[in-house]
């Protein structure tokens, strides 16, 4: 009894094509799938970036108190003090009676 294993052998197909030119349909398909891939990746990255931008910023640990609330009172007081000092200086400049020297004399 002999067993023939023809289905395991690779069939040789040496048919000549009528037109030996390059098939443009292959390149169009490659470009189409590459363009589709680039569009899908761009949409995915755009969606990811929008989600990241819309997130609330996390505060550093130095601004958080023991309760977990944000402590901005010290910073607000410092800014208010700065503007109060600036207002005092501007009032002093307005009320000073410095003699103005006329350069045309």
Is 51 a domain residue?
yes
Is 30 a domain residue?
yes
Instruction: Select the more confidently predicted residue: 50 or 104.
Output: 50
Please give the radius of gyration of the chain, using alpha carbons only, rounded to the nearest integer: 40
Supply the range of the domain harboring residue 42: 24-55
pLDDT digits (tens, 9 = 90+) for 5-18: 665 666 666 666 66
Domain total for the chain? 2
Given the structure tokens 């590459």, which residue do they identify? 34
Instruction: Select the more confidently predicted residue: 81 or 58.
Output: 81
Residues 71 and 85 placed together within one structural domain of the fold: yes
Please state the rounded mean pLDDT for residues 42-58: 88
pLDDT digits (tens, 9 = 90+) for 62-79: 555 555 455 577 888 888
% residues pLDDT > 70 (the chain)? 64
- Cα separation, 38 vs 21, in Å, equals 29
What is the residue-averaged pLDDT of the chain? 78
């Amino acid at each position: 009894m002999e067993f023939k294993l023809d289905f395991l052998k690779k069939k040789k197909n040496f048919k000549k094509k009528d037109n030996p030119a390059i098939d443009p349909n292959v390149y169009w398909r490659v470009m189409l799938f590459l363009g589709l891939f680039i569009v899908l990746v761009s949409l995915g990255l755009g969606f990811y970036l929008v989600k990241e931008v819309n997130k609330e910023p996390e505060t550093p640990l130095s601004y958080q108190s023991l309760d977990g609330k944000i402590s901005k009172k010290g910073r607000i007081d410092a800014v208010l003090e700065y503007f109060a000092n600036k207002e005092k200086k501007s009032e002093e400049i307005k009320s000073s009676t410095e003699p103005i020297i006329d350069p045309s004399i």
